[in-house]
Amino acid sequence: MAVLFATVKLVPTRKYRNDLLGILNSVRDLTQTIPGCVGCWLDDGGYLCGPVSYVEEWESEEGLRQHLRSDLYGRLLVAMELASQPPEVCFHTATETRGMELIEDVRGVSRTKPIAPEVLHDH
């Protein structure tokens, strides 16, 4: 299964910030109910006129493509028009998922090795 992330970063104008966030909240709430959507997240930047990030995760490219053609995604395009500058739009694919073994590989640590007591108590 391919995992796809769609990210949109927007810088809203002061005048339309609340409108933009309202649109993105409604798109997020409705999108996460669509079969094939793993999840949606909205980060409002936490301060006035800061950048806003909107992220969707999809199980398949076909699910994402259907969503991009939908009227619901058209609302996201309207939100992009309310930004003070062109949006940053990225589509990321993940072809492999790794866990602790990646940390072990990179750091040269084996899961079977005990952790040295001085590491646990050295602050």
Check pLDDT > 50 for residue 41.
Answer: yes
Sheet bearing 52-58, strands edge to edge: 37-43, 52-58, 3-10, 88-94
- For residue range 108-117, what is the model confidence (pLDDT) as tens digits? 866 555 555 5
Lowest mean pLDDT among 39-43, 57-61, 74-78, 106-110: 106-110
Q: How far apart are CA 102 and CA 112, in angstroms?
A: 15
What's the pLDDT at 95?
73
- Give me the chain's average pLDDT, please: 86
Listed by start position, the domains of the chain span 3-96
Q: How far apart are CA 52 and CA 50, in angstroms?
A: 7
- For residue range 12-31, what is the model confidence (pLDDT) as tens digits? 988 999 999 999 999 999 99
Q: Provide the 3-class DSSP secondary structure of residue 66.
A: helix
CA angle (68 as vertex; 65, 53 as ends), nearest 5: 115
Residue 97, C-beta contacts closer than 8 angstroms, at least 6 positions apart? 3
Q: How far apart are CA 83 and CA 34, in angstroms?
A: 26
Provide the pLDDT confidence category of residue 7 given band limits of 50, 70 and 90: very high
CA angle (11 as vertex; 10, 15 as ends), nearest 5: 120
Q: How far apart are CA 36 and CA 111, in angstroms?
A: 35
Which of the two residues, 119 and 27, has the higher pLDDT score?
Answer: 27
What's the pLDDT at 99?
76
Provide the pLDDT confidence category of residue 36 given band limits of 50, 70 and 90: very high
For the entire predicted model, the pTM comes to 0.76
Q: Which fold has domain 3-96?
A: Alpha-Beta Plaits (3.30.70)
What's the pLDDT at 101?
80
